[in-house]
Amino acid sequence: MNSNKILRFVGKTRKIYGNYEALTRTAQRIPSRSMANVSLPEIAKEKETFQDAWPCIIDSLVTNPKFAQLPELASWVKKVLEYNLKGGKKIRGVTTVLAHELLEKPENVTDETMRLARIAGWCLEMLQSYMTMNDDIMDGSSTRRGMPCWYRIPDVGLGAINDAILVNCSIFEVLKMHFGNTIYYPEIVEIFNEALLYTSMGQRLDFMMAHNSMKDYSLFTIERYDSIVKYKTSYYTFKLPISLGLMLRKNGNKAHHKDIENICFGIGKLFQMQDDYIDCFGDESVTGKAGTDIQEGKCSWLAVHALQRCNNEQRAIFIQNYGAKEPEKVERIKQLYQQLQIPEVYRKEENDIYNSILEEIHALPSEIPPAIFYKVLDVIYKRTF
């Protein structure tokens, strides 16, 4: 497929994929070997098909003998899952399916392999819900996806901690039911556990920095921020779904998991810095979540870069107002970000990271089709929610 055909293809699919500028730029900059495999699936259609797979998965779970012997508990687990998995972009789950479809040879992609990829994707969405249920409690958040956080529901409260454990256990029940007889079942369980461990490590780093009682902002460094992002976001948001896609490949090569790692970490950093920016400057009616990073004193991308640019007077303002709940102090920090031109710095770094990831994708071994990475970049680049 030559560059002109790619551009015509992008034009036709603009309504489906959204980010016309990003795809056009990619088509112009990346040589033909990389773009030859970008026969991008219809994302909107796949999201719909992915969603349609959920009822069968949840029904198979709650009729599992372990739950069925306690019908009241089975009904509660179903309620917990349906509430906490409702809405959202499903980026992790759909990426799992796309990773299988775009990394596998076309002749090996069957209805059965796609079914398994969707089940694996839903297990990843359950992992996401498990993490966010706990995260909302730790952060004292009020809304998630435009709805009250689960622990804020009157008959739930801190019982949400046990509900989150039930969600986590349900992941492994689903994996056992649908993958237990496959040769890669042990490896799938291993990488889910690995992602859970690394994400929990990242959450702990994030929590420690936010509860910095001494207000020692010398700890707010790029290196510390990168560590938080790598563990808190990159592993389970990008490395896990793409690794699952690689794992489902027939005659897959384990060595390729290492080849994709740096790209996944780069995309994870881009994704998290976007989240940090949206938390501060996003429109809650669009994002569905009230920003709380300033109030919580998070080691966010904005805070780290603001501290790098502060003079002594501005640093005093930051220390006096950051991590406070009062609306006027939150607004003072936002004003400081504007004075330090943080939005302009953000837009430049977003673009720089995007371009560096494109270069890493092009350097991939020829046996790894790059289309999945281009597609993920297209979905997240310059996102606003």
For 275-292, write each residue's pLDDT tens digit.
999 999 998 877 777 789
pLDDT digits (tens, 9 = 90+) for 206-219: 999 988 877 889 99
pLDDT exceeds 90 at position 382: no
pLDDT at 10: 35
pLDDT band (50, 70, 90) for residue 1: very low
pLDDT band (50, 70, 90) for residue 14: very low
User: What does each C-alpha distance from 345 to 119, 277, 279, 310, 339 come to in angstroms?
Assistant: 40, 11, 16, 14, 12
pLDDT digits (tens, 9 = 90+) for 88-142: 889 899 999 999 999 999 999 999 999 999 999 999 999 999 999 999 998 888 9
pLDDT exceeds 90 at position 195: yes
The answer to whether residues 98 and 44 touch, using CB atoms and an 8 Å cutoff, is: no
Q: Is the dihedral of CA 28, 249, 53, 131 positive or negative?
A: negative
pLDDT band (50, 70, 90) for residue 384: confident
3-class state of residue 147 by DSSP: strand
From 223, 232, 176, select the one nearest 202 (Cα to Cα).
232
3-class state of residue 148 by DSSP: strand
In which residue are the tokens 């998290």 written? 272
Average of per-residue pLDDT values in the chain: 87
pLDDT at 301: 98
pLDDT at 42: 61
pLDDT digits (tens, 9 = 90+) for 288-307: 777 899 999 999 999 999 99
H or E element, residue 164: helix 160-179
Q: pLDDT higher for 150 or 24? A: 150
Using left for φ > 0, alpha for ψ between -120 and 50, and beta otherwise, residue 51 falls in alpha
pLDDT at 40: 44
3-class state of residue 43 by DSSP: helix
pLDDT band (50, 70, 90) for residue 2: very low
pTM: 0.82
User: Which token pair is 155?
Assistant: 């008959």
3-class state of residue 216 by DSSP: coil
Separation between Cα atoms, residue 325 and residue 344, nearest integer Å: 26
pLDDT at 219: 93
Least-confidence region, from 11-15, 129-133, 150-154, 187-191: 11-15
pLDDT at 49: 92
State the CB neighbour count (10 A cutoff) for residue 347: 12
Distance from chain centroid for Cα 87: 14
pLDDT exceeds 50 at position 338: yes
The winner for highest mean pLDDT among 45-59, 161-175, 241-255 is 161-175
pLDDT digits (tens, 9 = 90+) for 155-180: 999 999 999 999 999 999 999 999 99
Share of the chain above pLDDT 90, in %: 71
pLDDT at 285: 79
Instruction: Give the relative orientation of helices 240-247 and 371-380 as an angle to the nearest 10 degrees.
Output: 150
Angle, vertex CA 117, rays to CA 241 and CA 6, nearest 5? 75
Separation between Cα atoms, residue 359 and residue 5, nearest integer Å: 22
pLDDT at 34: 36
Contacts by 62-66, CB closer than 8 A, 24 or more apart: 64/173, 64/177, 66/173
Report phi then psi at 357, rounded to 5: -65, -40
pLDDT at 45: 80
pLDDT digits (tens, 9 = 90+) for 26-38: 444 343 333 333 3
Q: Number of C-alpha atoms within 13 angstroms, CB side, residue 293?
A: 23
Q: What is the mean pLDDT of residues 79-96?
A: 93
pLDDT at 253: 67
